Structure 1
Amino acid sequence: MKTTGWLSGIAGIALAACAALAVAAGPAGKPLPPDSVYQLALPLTDQAGRTADWRGLRGKPRVVSMFYTSCQYICPLIVDSGKAIEHRLSPAERGRIGIVLISMDPARDTPAALRKVFDKRGLDARRWSLASPPPADVRSVAALLGIRYRPLADGEFNHTSALVLLDAEGRIVARTEQVGSKPDPEFVAAVRKAAAR
């Protein structure tokens, strides 16, 4: 697992380079920190067909990753990773953490496609959200999260697999590229720490 330091530097560079930045204030009018990924205005459409700006995720820590529903190899392991992390948390800790998987293939990842994976994997809507951004925003969010991807001729994607932990203000506090049913212990510890705040 790699933590803060260079991660906040990457987020800062991506934020500075992004043309679609927006300053958002929370319910109490408190501005976002300058290194928050939520500085990017990003509409997401979830598995229930609801569209909302991801800045609405502000307020609780989130484990975030990118995936696509037709992936048969790595992306199911990303879901496994989120579930494995959940299993290592107490019920109270689970209630204070959200998990968001953002599609890198919004053209095919309609709400129906997202719902199919959501239901098949038995995900809990109280904690999980599968969502697609507008196609023009995929590269921006991938850059913010430090996820590289490349569409292939056969419709698949070559991409890095990473889980990114955001604090309640959307700052990157931890990251791991270890995916599967045995989660990175350091990343789980970081999630527990975030849930305790």
Structure 2
Amino acid sequence: MIDIRNKYYIRVLAIVSLAVMLTLPACGNREALGDYPAANANNCLPDVSLIDQHGAAVSLASLKGKPVLIDFIYTSCASTCPLLTAKMAAVAHKLGPALGADVTIVSISLDPEHDTPAALADYAKSHDADARGWIFLTGPPAKIDQVLALFNLRRTRESNGSITHSIAAFLLGPDGHQIRQYNALDVSPEAVADDINRAGNKG
């Protein structure tokens, strides 16, 4: 004779087990790792000239021809920006000699009112980010805001002088259009490096 209570417990156990399985991240789910499809089709490398950490003018359009990994930071940021730069530095180490030769990393200042080229150069040196092929850019605030708008981003200065901003990073293809976007604090350096290698092979 079948015990009805046992059948009930078995059914409950099966339901609980299914619920647990559904809440676990799927193996290979890139979005669970902070790696997402591109969000817009804008040309994110327009003919806009900014100033690098060495004081030289750099047109964003001149960076086309190979993948570009781009993020937004500012030098007086003491919270998320050092973490973002540390993640980009880990990606740079994964790329090795390909950085500069096959891909460019670009970090654009969110505080152009204070981030001079010298300040960006000091920031790069103190955050293991002064590698060949990694460019830090500043420029007139209106141009920075113009570039941010292409990524559907904005910067907001708080009363204490800090800047509220996104923690996103973006991988652009050789044509300047987005391929992937990242939660830069969550994504693994390996995932970004793999995306860059695929983008380079397509280019």
- Which bin holds the TM-score, normalised by the shorter protein? 0.7 to 0.9
> Counterpart of 2:200 in structure 1: which amino acid?
A
> How many aligned positions are there?
168
Stretches of 4+ aligned residues off by more than 4 angstroms: none
TM-score (norm 2): 0.74
- From the CA coordinates, give the structure whose radius of gyration is larger: 2
TM-score (norm 1): 0.77
Provide the secondary structure at the position in 2 that maps to 1:2.
Answer: strand
1:134-192 deviation digits (Å, cap 9, x = unpaired): 11122221121233321111111011111100111101101101327x62654332112
Provide the secondary structure at the position in 2 that maps to 1:148.
Answer: coil
> Counterpart of 1:37 in structure 2: which amino acid?
C
1:10-31 deviation digits (Å, cap 9, x = unpaired): x3xxxxxxxxxxxxxxxxxxxx
What residue is the counterpart of 1:37 in the other structure? 44
CA distance 1:90–1:46, shift in 2 (3 Å): closer
Alignment partner for residue 178 of structure 1, among 172, 181, 184? 184
In 2, are the aligned partners of 1:47 and 1:130 still within 8 Å (CA)? yes
CA distance 1:130–1:91, shift in 2 (3 Å): same
Which has more helix, going by share of residues?
A: 2
What residue is the counterpart of 2:161 in the other structure? 155
Structure 1 unmatched runs, 5+:
12-35
1:59-79 deviation digits (Å, cap 9, x = unpaired): 211101111111011111111
In 1, are the aligned partners of 2:51 and 2:139 still within 8 Å (CA)? yes
In 2, are the aligned partners of 1:93 and 1:192 still within 8 Å (CA)? no
What residue is the counterpart of 1:193 in the other structure? 198
- What is the aligned-residue identity percentage? 30
What residue is the counterpart of 2:115 in the other structure? 109
Structure 2 unmatched runs, 5+:
1-34
Offset at 1:88? 2.6
> Counterpart of 1:195 in structure 2: which amino acid?
G
Distance 1:195 1:64 in 2: 15
CA distance 1:120–1:90, shift in 2 (3 Å): closer
1:57-104 deviation digits (Å, cap 9, x = unpaired): 112111011111110111111111111112333534663111000011
> Counterpart of 2:44 in structure 1: which amino acid?
V
